[in-house]
């Protein structure tokens, strides 16, 4: 069993992960609408990954005999001005998620909740990868600038993500 406070924190994170999936799916739709199928494909896979993260929280909450609480998911933004803006927002969102997970980890530590601490370790490591991936693409976009050929090349590269 976990504390009520921990249950609430885990449910909040579950819902944040579902929003992340929704956000990246909206970004994928935007990229599709402007003809960048590689960027769209990358975002669709990112959306699926975030959904899988949400399900890890969902399953853990049930495994510790707590109650899952699904909240309303706000509609994400639908349009962006540039590829650069999308990845700036992606990186900021991932930093927000990292901070949220760290706060839960601190709560688990304070409550001597070793099981939840262990569960969260995977997410802490995953967030390093998430932020690095977003930063890498953001760096490439900054380097490319307004270069249309570079954007097309990056679109092809991102479409190869498995």
In the chain, domain spans: 4-158
d(CA 86, CA 83): 5
Q: In Å, how far are 20, 58, 159 from 28, measured between CA atoms?
A: 12, 24, 12
Residue-wise pLDDT for 64-120, tens only, equals 999 999 999 999 999 999 999 999 999 999 999 999 999 999 999 999 999 999 999
Among 137, 139, 142, residue whose Cα is nearest residue 154: 137
Q: What integer pLDDT is reported at residue 121 of this predicted model?
A: 98
Q: What integer pLDDT is reported at residue 146 of this predicted model?
A: 87
Q: What integer pLDDT is reported at residue 131 of this predicted model?
A: 98
Does residue 1 register a pLDDT over 90?
A: no
Q: What CATH architecture is 4-158?
A: Up-down Bundle (1.20)
In the numeric block, which tokens belong to residue 103? 């706060």
Q: What integer pLDDT is reported at residue 162 of this predicted model?
A: 85
Query: What average pLDDT does the chain have?
Result: 97
Residue-wise pLDDT for 17-44, tens only, equals 999 999 999 999 999 999 999 999 999 9
Q: Would you say 125 and 98 are in contact if contact means Cβ atoms under 8 Å apart?
A: no
Determine the Cα angle at 10 with ends 6 and 11, to 5°: 115
Q: Considering the chain, what percentage of its residues have pLDDT values greater than 70?
A: 100
Classify 72 as helix, strand or coil: coil
């Amino acid at each position: 069993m976990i504390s009520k406070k921990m249950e609430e924190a885990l449910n909040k994170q579950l819902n944040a992960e579902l929003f992340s999936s929704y956000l990246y799916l909206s970004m994928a739709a935007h990229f599709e609408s402007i003809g960048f199928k590689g960027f769209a494909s990358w975002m669709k896979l990112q959306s699926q990954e975030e959904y899988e993260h949400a399900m890890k929280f969902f399953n853990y909450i049930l495994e510790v005999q707590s109650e899952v609480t699904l909240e309303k998911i706000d509609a994400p933004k639908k349009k962006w001005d540039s590829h650069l803006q999308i990845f700036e927002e992606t990186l900021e969102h991932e930093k927000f998620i990292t901070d949220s997970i760290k706060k839960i980890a601190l709560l688990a530590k304070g409550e001597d909740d070793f099981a939840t601490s262990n569960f969260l370790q995977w997410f802490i490591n995953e967030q390093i990868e998430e932020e690095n991936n977003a930063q890498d693409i953001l760096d490439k976009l900054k380097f490319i600038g307004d270069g249309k050929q570079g954007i097309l090349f990056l679109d092809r590269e991102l479409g190869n993500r498995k």
